[in-house]
Each structure stands twice: as C-alpha cells, then as structure tokens.
Amino acid sequence: MDTNTINYAVYLVTDNTPAILGSRDLCEVVEASVRGGTTIVQLRDKTSDTGAMIEMGKKLHAITRKYKVPLLINDRIDVALAVGCEGVHIGQDDMELSAARKLLGPDAIIGVTVSTIEEAMVACKGGADYLGIGTVYATPTKTNTKNIIGAAGVRDILQAMADAGYDHVKTVCIGGLNAENLQRIVYQSEAPSKKLDGVAVVSALVAAPDPEAAARNLSQLFNSLPPFV
Ligand code: TZP
Ligand code: MG
C-alpha cells in the first residue's frame, strides 16, 4: 500500500466496550463502515490480552485489505508486527516514535496523538506520517483525556505546522465529533494555510445503528464542506 496516497477523510477508531459496541460484532461493524466510505481503520483495544488483540487484528486486516484501506493498531507495535498491518497510532505515553519507526520500518504509517504545538513539532520532526489532534471536545468514549483543546486548539496546531514547514504531515482531529457537528468543527479548526485531512471518530460509527449509512454520511459531510459564511 502506498503510504503517500492514504486517504484520512473518515478515520474509524474501534471500541469493543459494551457501552459503545453493544452486543454487535466488531468485524461486522467495521466492514459495514468501510463499505459506507470509511477510509482508514485503527484497532483500539484497551482491555483484551495480546493474543486476542492479534486475532482481532488479523480478522480486521482481512476485511480492510479487501476494501484496500489501511489498518493501524493503537499503542501496540508488537501487535502491528504480528498482524502485518499498515502501521500504528501512538500516544504521548506510548513507545517513542523513533523506536516505533525502527521496529516497523520506513514504509509503515505512524500516527501520533498531539494536543499541544510542542507535541506536534516533536512528532513532525520525528517523522510522523500524520497527527491525531485533540481532544477537540470532551467525550464519554475517552474520559482520561488530558487536554480538551477545542477547535481553536486544533487551528493553532495546524497553523504552527504550516509555519514550521510541515505541510506534508497529514492531520485528523478527534474527540466528540459526529454528523451534527462535523462540518462546523472542521470549519472552525482549519487554519488559513493548512487544512485537515480527515476526522477520526469512535462512537459516531461504532455506536451508530447503521454504520454503513453513518460512514456514508460522514464521508459526504467531510467532502462537501460549505464555503465559509
Ligand atoms: N482520543 C481522543 S478522544 C478519543 C480518543 C481515542 C475518543 C473519541 O471518541 P468519540 O466517540 O469519537 O468522541
Ligand atoms: Mg495510546
């Protein structure tokens, strides 16, 4: 998979907790969402043991490969290696970016969560392929978030990236986004000289009654942002 042509527009982060997934099958939810237009998937699982996570990763990878979208693993470089998927997403408390790159190689997609300009600069300098910027809004999906930065915080980071010459580093924002607020948040988040490449969501897809329709809707909304008024 050519990592230069990755489409970040609708970025699904999985969640297997009953509060969000309910009693549904995660593979079915992911496949429906990819069918609807999800362009990239991250397996995020804070509860399963390593073996179960690898098993789920392999199942999801079979699905994402069929639709030619990348699969990334949250936190766990070892799981990504075992699954043989396209990359990882790491937070500020996970393995260092340089170590992850050494283990996964130059072709892997590596994304980093950032909530400040300083973190963004370090990640860009370290060779991150994309940044997950947030948390935009407080969300019941992740209650241990350090920083709620709002659209203004996202915009400051995008502007700093452009000013520092990191236009080539892709960006998504995350935290509390859904079909109702997506266009407004994206619109308020984008800096004059750097746009977002996508939006990352958990509950707006995983908890949706119809994940395929929800993905289609998010894709349509992201790809048809109205002109600023
Ligand atoms: N990182 C920052 S917020 C968040 C993660 C994984 C959860 C976002 O969940 P939702 O349901 O899209 O608000
Ligand atoms: Mg993490």
pLDDT digits (tens, 9 = 90+) for 157-195: 999 999 999 999 999 999 999 999 999 999 999 988 899
DSSP state for residue 4 in the 8-state scheme: G
The interface predicted TM-score (ipTM) is 0.97
Q: Which atom of ligand 1 is nearest to the CA of 20?
A: 11
Q: Cα separation of 156 and 47, whole Å?
A: 34
Which one of the ligands is nearest to 93 CA? 2
Q: Identify which of 142, 182, 199 to mutate to test ligand 1's pocket (most ligand atoms within 8 A of the CB).
A: 142
Report whether residue 217 contacts ligand 1, using a CB cutoff of 6 Å: no
Please classify residue 185 by burial: count the beta carbons closer than 10 Å to its beta carbon, then call 0-12 exposed, 13-18 middle and 19+ buried: buried
- pLDDT tens digit at each of 229 positions of the chain: 777 789 999 999 999 999 999 999 999 999 999 999 999 999 999 999 999 999 999 999 999 999 999 999 999 999 999 999 999 999 999 999 999 999 999 999 999 999 999 999 999 999 999 999 999 999 988 887 779 999 999 999 999 999 999 999 999 999 999 999 999 999 999 988 899 999 999 999 999 999 999 999 999 999 998 665 4
Residues near ion ligand 2 (Cβ under 5 Å):
75, 91, 94
pLDDT digits (tens, 9 = 90+) for 28-53: 999 999 999 999 999 999 999 999 99
Q: Cα separation of 160 and 155, whole Å?
A: 9
